[in-house]
Protein backbone atom coordinates (compact mmCIF):
# COMPACT_ATOMS: atom_id res chain seq x y z
CA UNK A 1 0.00 0.00 0.00
CA UNK A 2 1.41 3.33 -1.03
CA UNK A 3 -0.15 6.79 -1.32
CA UNK A 4 3.07 8.44 -2.52
CA UNK A 5 2.37 11.58 -4.54
CA UNK A 6 -1.34 11.64 -3.78
CA UNK A 7 -3.31 14.51 -2.27
CA UNK A 8 -6.16 13.93 0.17
CA UNK A 9 -8.77 16.06 1.92
CA UNK A 10 -9.87 14.63 5.27
CA UNK A 11 -12.92 16.14 6.98
CA UNK A 12 -12.98 15.88 10.74
CA UNK A 13 -9.21 15.38 10.67
CA UNK A 14 -8.71 16.93 14.09
CA UNK A 15 -9.71 13.92 16.15
CA UNK A 16 -10.38 10.19 16.31
CA UNK A 17 -10.68 8.34 13.00
CA UNK A 18 -9.96 11.46 10.92
CA UNK A 19 -6.72 12.25 12.73
CA UNK A 20 -5.53 8.63 12.71
CA UNK A 21 -6.24 8.49 8.97
CA UNK A 22 -4.44 11.78 8.31
CA UNK A 23 -1.34 10.48 10.12
CA UNK A 24 -1.50 7.15 8.29
CA UNK A 25 -1.96 8.84 4.90
CA UNK A 26 1.00 11.14 5.57
CA UNK A 27 3.17 8.15 6.57
CA UNK A 28 2.19 6.51 3.27
CA UNK A 29 3.37 9.59 1.35
CA UNK A 30 0.17 11.59 0.83
CA UNK A 31 -0.08 15.33 1.28
CA UNK A 32 -3.11 16.04 3.41
CA UNK A 33 -5.60 18.86 3.81
CA UNK A 34 -7.23 18.78 7.23
CA UNK A 35 -10.76 20.16 6.80
CA UNK A 36 -11.87 20.49 10.39
CA UNK A 37 -14.33 22.59 12.37
CA UNK A 38 -12.14 22.77 15.47
CA UNK A 39 -9.20 25.04 14.68
CA UNK A 40 -7.02 23.91 17.62
CA UNK A 41 -7.28 20.18 16.99
CA UNK A 42 -7.06 20.61 13.21
CA UNK A 43 -3.83 22.58 13.49
CA UNK A 44 -2.53 20.05 16.02
CA UNK A 45 -2.94 17.27 13.43
CA UNK A 46 -0.99 19.36 10.90
CA UNK A 47 1.77 19.86 13.49
CA UNK A 48 1.93 16.12 14.19
CA UNK A 49 2.25 15.36 10.48
CA UNK A 50 4.93 18.02 9.95
CA UNK A 51 6.87 16.86 13.00
CA UNK A 52 7.00 13.40 11.42
CA UNK A 53 8.33 14.86 8.16
CA UNK A 54 5.06 14.95 6.21
CA UNK A 55 3.13 17.74 4.49
CA UNK A 56 -0.28 19.00 5.58
CA UNK A 57 -2.46 22.10 5.49
CA UNK A 58 -5.31 23.13 7.76
CA UNK A 59 -8.52 24.67 6.42
CA UNK A 60 -11.18 25.59 8.95
CA UNK A 61 -14.25 23.88 7.52
CA UNK A 62 -17.80 23.37 8.66
CA UNK A 63 -18.97 20.49 6.49
CA UNK A 64 -22.59 21.53 6.94
CA UNK A 65 -21.86 24.48 4.61
CA UNK A 66 -21.28 23.49 0.98
CA UNK A 67 -19.23 26.62 0.20
CA UNK A 68 -16.74 25.72 2.96
CA UNK A 69 -16.35 22.16 1.70
CA UNK A 70 -15.74 23.51 -1.81
CA UNK A 71 -13.10 25.83 -0.37
CA UNK A 72 -11.29 22.91 1.28
CA UNK A 73 -11.23 21.06 -2.04
CA UNK A 74 -9.96 24.18 -3.83
CA UNK A 75 -7.22 24.65 -1.23
CA UNK A 76 -6.01 21.09 -1.90
CA UNK A 77 -5.73 21.78 -5.63
CA UNK A 78 -4.28 25.28 -5.23
CA UNK A 79 -1.70 24.12 -2.67
CA UNK A 80 -0.71 20.69 -3.98
CA UNK A 81 -1.92 20.73 -7.60
CA UNK A 82 -4.38 17.83 -7.47
CA UNK A 83 -6.99 15.91 -5.49
CA UNK A 84 -6.86 12.12 -5.36
CA UNK A 85 -8.78 11.23 -2.22
CA UNK A 86 -11.72 12.85 -0.46
CA UNK A 87 -12.45 11.33 2.95
CA UNK A 88 -15.89 12.52 4.07
CA UNK A 89 -15.51 11.59 7.70
CA UNK A 90 -16.60 14.49 9.95
CA UNK A 91 -19.50 13.52 12.14
CA UNK A 92 -21.31 14.19 15.37
CA UNK A 93 -23.49 12.11 17.66
CA UNK A 94 -26.62 13.19 19.46
CA UNK A 95 -28.01 10.18 21.20
CA UNK A 96 -31.32 10.28 23.06
CA UNK A 97 -34.59 8.36 23.09
CA UNK A 98 -36.63 9.25 20.00
CA UNK A 99 -39.41 11.01 21.91
CA UNK A 100 -36.88 13.17 23.80
CA UNK A 101 -35.05 14.09 20.62
CA UNK A 102 -35.87 17.63 19.45
CA UNK A 103 -36.23 18.49 15.75
CA UNK A 104 -33.28 20.89 16.01
CA UNK A 105 -31.04 18.05 17.26
CA UNK A 106 -32.20 15.77 14.46
CA UNK A 107 -31.59 18.51 11.89
CA UNK A 108 -28.11 19.20 13.24
CA UNK A 109 -27.06 15.53 13.04
CA UNK A 110 -28.44 15.16 9.52
CA UNK A 111 -26.86 18.44 8.40
CA UNK A 112 -23.36 17.33 9.45
CA UNK A 113 -23.44 13.54 9.04
CA UNK A 114 -25.56 13.31 5.90
CA UNK A 115 -25.47 16.64 4.05
CA UNK A 116 -21.79 17.07 4.91
CA UNK A 117 -21.04 13.81 3.09
CA UNK A 118 -23.18 14.86 0.13
CA UNK A 119 -21.32 18.19 -0.07
CA UNK A 120 -17.99 16.36 -0.04
CA UNK A 121 -19.07 13.98 -2.79
CA UNK A 122 -20.33 16.88 -4.89
CA UNK A 123 -17.34 19.19 -4.44
CA UNK A 124 -14.71 16.47 -4.87
CA UNK A 125 -16.58 14.70 -7.66
CA UNK A 126 -16.83 17.89 -9.71
CA UNK A 127 -13.17 18.75 -9.13
CA UNK A 128 -11.91 15.25 -10.01
CA UNK A 129 -14.08 15.23 -13.13
CA UNK A 130 -12.85 18.68 -14.22
CA UNK A 131 -9.19 17.75 -13.63
CA UNK A 132 -9.73 14.28 -15.15
CA UNK A 133 -8.38 12.59 -12.03
CA UNK A 134 -9.53 9.02 -11.39
CA UNK A 135 -9.74 9.61 -7.67
CA UNK A 136 -11.40 7.93 -4.72
CA UNK A 137 -14.13 9.26 -2.46
CA UNK A 138 -14.43 7.49 0.89
CA UNK A 139 -17.31 8.12 3.29
CA UNK A 140 -17.61 7.19 6.94
CA UNK A 141 -20.80 5.22 7.41
CA UNK A 142 -21.39 3.11 10.54
CA UNK A 143 -22.73 -0.23 11.72
CA UNK A 144 -25.68 2.03 12.55
CA UNK A 145 -26.21 2.38 8.77
CA UNK A 146 -27.54 -1.18 9.06
CA UNK A 147 -28.53 -2.03 12.62
CA UNK A 148 -31.06 -0.28 14.84
CA UNK A 149 -30.21 0.52 18.43
CA UNK A 150 -32.17 2.50 21.05
CA UNK A 151 -31.44 6.23 21.28
CA UNK A 152 -29.73 6.46 17.91
CA UNK A 153 -32.62 7.68 15.70
CA UNK A 154 -31.15 10.73 13.95
CA UNK A 155 -27.73 9.10 13.62
CA UNK A 156 -29.40 6.07 12.00
CA UNK A 157 -31.21 8.38 9.57
CA UNK A 158 -28.00 10.09 8.51
CA UNK A 159 -25.74 7.02 8.42
CA UNK A 160 -28.37 4.98 6.57
CA UNK A 161 -28.33 7.70 3.94
CA UNK A 162 -24.51 7.62 3.77
CA UNK A 163 -24.63 3.93 2.84
CA UNK A 164 -27.06 4.56 -0.01
CA UNK A 165 -25.32 7.77 -1.14
CA UNK A 166 -22.10 5.75 -1.44
CA UNK A 167 -23.72 3.22 -3.74
CA UNK A 168 -25.55 5.86 -5.77
CA UNK A 169 -22.49 8.11 -6.19
CA UNK A 170 -20.32 5.13 -7.17
CA UNK A 171 -22.73 4.41 -10.01
CA UNK A 172 -22.91 8.03 -11.14
CA UNK A 173 -19.19 8.76 -10.95
CA UNK A 174 -17.95 5.48 -12.46
CA UNK A 175 -18.00 6.94 -16.01
CA UNK A 176 -15.31 9.41 -14.84
CA UNK A 177 -13.21 6.63 -13.33
CA UNK A 178 -13.92 7.87 -9.81
CA UNK A 179 -14.50 5.20 -7.14
CA UNK A 180 -16.82 5.82 -4.18
CA UNK A 181 -16.63 3.54 -1.13
CA UNK A 182 -17.32 3.71 2.59
CA UNK A 183 -16.15 2.29 5.87
CA UNK A 184 -18.68 1.25 8.49
CA UNK A 185 -16.98 1.24 11.88
CA UNK A 186 -18.35 -0.48 14.96
CA UNK A 187 -17.57 1.11 18.32
CA UNK A 188 -14.35 3.11 18.10
CA UNK A 189 -12.56 4.59 21.08
CA UNK A 190 -13.10 8.31 20.29
CA UNK A 191 -14.89 11.25 21.94
CA UNK A 192 -18.08 10.67 19.94
CA UNK A 193 -19.04 7.69 22.10
CA UNK A 194 -16.90 8.47 25.14
CA UNK A 195 -19.35 11.32 25.81
CA UNK A 196 -22.28 8.93 26.22
CA UNK A 197 -20.98 6.59 28.91
CA UNK A 198 -24.12 7.23 30.99
CA UNK A 199 -26.32 5.83 28.20
CA UNK A 200 -24.22 2.68 28.15
CA UNK A 201 -23.43 3.15 24.46
CA UNK A 202 -19.78 2.16 24.85
CA UNK A 203 -20.59 -0.92 26.95
CA UNK A 204 -23.31 -1.94 24.52
CA UNK A 205 -20.93 -1.75 21.55
CA UNK A 206 -18.18 -3.62 23.39
CA UNK A 207 -20.61 -6.39 24.26
CA UNK A 208 -21.50 -6.83 20.59
CA UNK A 209 -17.93 -6.85 19.31
CA UNK A 210 -16.70 -10.41 18.91
CA UNK A 211 -13.55 -9.66 20.94
CA UNK A 212 -15.45 -7.53 23.49
CA UNK A 213 -13.41 -4.36 23.27
CA UNK A 214 -13.67 -1.12 21.35
CA UNK A 215 -11.71 -0.62 18.15
CA UNK A 216 -8.92 1.94 18.03
CA UNK A 217 -9.11 4.71 15.40
CA UNK A 218 -5.92 3.38 13.78
CA UNK A 219 -7.71 0.13 12.92
CA UNK A 220 -10.22 2.11 10.85
CA UNK A 221 -7.48 4.33 9.39
CA UNK A 222 -5.62 1.27 8.07
CA UNK A 223 -8.70 0.19 6.12
CA UNK A 224 -9.31 3.70 4.79
CA UNK A 225 -5.70 3.87 3.57
CA UNK A 226 -6.13 0.52 1.83
CA UNK A 227 -9.37 1.69 0.18
CA UNK A 228 -7.60 4.86 -0.99
CA UNK A 229 -4.78 2.89 -2.58
CA UNK A 230 -4.62 1.28 -6.01
CA UNK A 231 -4.61 -2.11 -4.22
CA UNK A 232 -8.34 -1.55 -3.69
CA UNK A 233 -9.05 -0.68 -7.33
CA UNK A 234 -11.53 -3.56 -7.60
CA UNK A 235 -13.69 -2.21 -4.76
CA UNK A 236 -16.41 0.25 -5.74
CA UNK A 237 -19.78 1.15 -4.22
CA UNK A 238 -19.02 -1.07 -1.23
CA UNK A 239 -19.40 -0.30 2.44
CA UNK A 240 -16.60 -2.12 4.24
CA UNK A 241 -17.43 -3.15 7.80
CA UNK A 242 -14.68 -2.41 10.33
CA UNK A 243 -16.58 -3.68 13.34
CA UNK A 244 -14.87 -6.72 14.87
CA UNK A 245 -17.82 -8.77 13.71
CA UNK A 246 -20.53 -6.71 15.40
CA UNK A 247 -22.79 -6.76 12.35
CA UNK A 248 -22.38 -10.53 12.00
CA UNK A 249 -24.27 -11.25 15.24
P1 LIG B 1 -14.43 12.37 16.83
O2 LIG B 1 -15.40 13.16 17.62
O3 LIG B 1 -13.16 11.95 17.44
O4 LIG B 1 -14.10 13.10 15.45
C5 LIG B 1 -15.05 13.82 14.71
C6 LIG B 1 -14.38 15.06 14.17
O7 LIG B 1 -15.30 15.75 13.30
C8 LIG B 1 -13.99 16.06 15.27
O9 LIG B 1 -12.66 16.49 15.06
C10 LIG B 1 -14.97 17.20 15.09
O11 LIG B 1 -14.46 18.47 15.48
C12 LIG B 1 -15.22 17.13 13.59
N13 LIG B 1 -16.46 17.80 13.21
C14 LIG B 1 -17.66 17.75 13.85
N15 LIG B 1 -18.55 18.52 13.21
C16 LIG B 1 -17.92 19.05 12.15
C17 LIG B 1 -18.31 19.92 11.11
N18 LIG B 1 -19.56 20.42 11.05
N19 LIG B 1 -17.40 20.26 10.16
C20 LIG B 1 -16.13 19.78 10.22
N21 LIG B 1 -15.70 18.98 11.19
C22 LIG B 1 -16.58 18.60 12.14
O23 LIG B 1 -15.26 11.07 16.38
P24 LIG B 1 -14.88 9.86 15.41
O25 LIG B 1 -15.35 8.65 16.09
O26 LIG B 1 -13.48 9.93 14.95
O27 LIG B 1 -15.87 10.16 14.22
C28 LIG B 1 -15.46 10.18 12.87
C29 LIG B 1 -16.56 9.57 12.03
O30 LIG B 1 -16.72 8.20 12.38
C31 LIG B 1 -17.94 10.22 12.23
O32 LIG B 1 -18.60 10.32 10.99
C33 LIG B 1 -18.64 9.21 13.10
O34 LIG B 1 -20.04 9.29 12.97
C35 LIG B 1 -18.08 7.92 12.56
N36 LIG B 1 -18.22 6.74 13.39
C37 LIG B 1 -17.70 6.71 14.64
C38 LIG B 1 -17.85 5.57 15.41
C39 LIG B 1 -17.32 5.47 16.81
O40 LIG B 1 -17.68 4.54 17.52
N41 LIG B 1 -16.45 6.37 17.25
C42 LIG B 1 -18.53 4.46 14.89
C43 LIG B 1 -19.03 4.53 13.60
C44 LIG B 1 -18.87 5.66 12.85
Q: Strand 31-36 to strand 7-11: parallel, antiparallel, or no bridges (unpaired)?
A: parallel
Give the predicted TM-score (pTM) of the model: 0.98
Q: Are 131 and 83 in contact (CB under 8 A)?
A: yes
Q: Which of 144, 155, 176, 196 is catalytic?
A: 155
Instruction: Identify whether 155 is a catalytic site residue.
Output: yes
User: Could you report the per-residue pLDDT of 138-173, keeping only the tens digit for each?
Assistant: 999 999 999 999 999 999 999 999 999 999 999 999
CATH code of residue 25: 3.40.50.720
Q: pLDDT-based confidence at 59, cuts 50/70/90? A: very high
Q: Which domain holds residue 154?
A: 7-248
Separation CA 59–CA 208 (nearest Å): 37
Domain for residue 49, yes or no? yes
Per this entry, what is the length of the chain? Answer: 249
The pLDDT value recorded for residue 1 is: 66
User: Could you report the per-residue pLDDT of 170-217, keeping only the tens digit for each?
Assistant: 999 999 999 999 999 999 999 998 878 778 888 888 899 999 999 999
DSSP 190: S
Domain for residue 2, yes or no? no
Domain for residue 168, yes or no? yes
Domain for residue 102, yes or no? yes
Helix (H, G, I), strand (E, B) or coil at 244: coil
What's the total number of domains in the chain?
Answer: 1
Q: Is the CB of 68 under 6 A from ligand 1?
A: no
Q: Is the CB of 243 under 6 A from ligand 1?
A: no
Q: What is the mean pLDDT of the chain?
A: 96
Q: Is the CB of 12 under 6 A from ligand 1?
A: yes
Domain for residue 203, yes or no? yes
Amino acid sequence: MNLQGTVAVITGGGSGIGRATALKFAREGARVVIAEYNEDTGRETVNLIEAAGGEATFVRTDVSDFAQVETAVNVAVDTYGRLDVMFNNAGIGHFAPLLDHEPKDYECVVQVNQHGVYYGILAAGRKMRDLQIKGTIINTASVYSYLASPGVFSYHAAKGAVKMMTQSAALELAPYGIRVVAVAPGGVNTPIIQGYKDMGLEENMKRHHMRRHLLEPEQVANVVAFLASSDADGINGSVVMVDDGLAAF
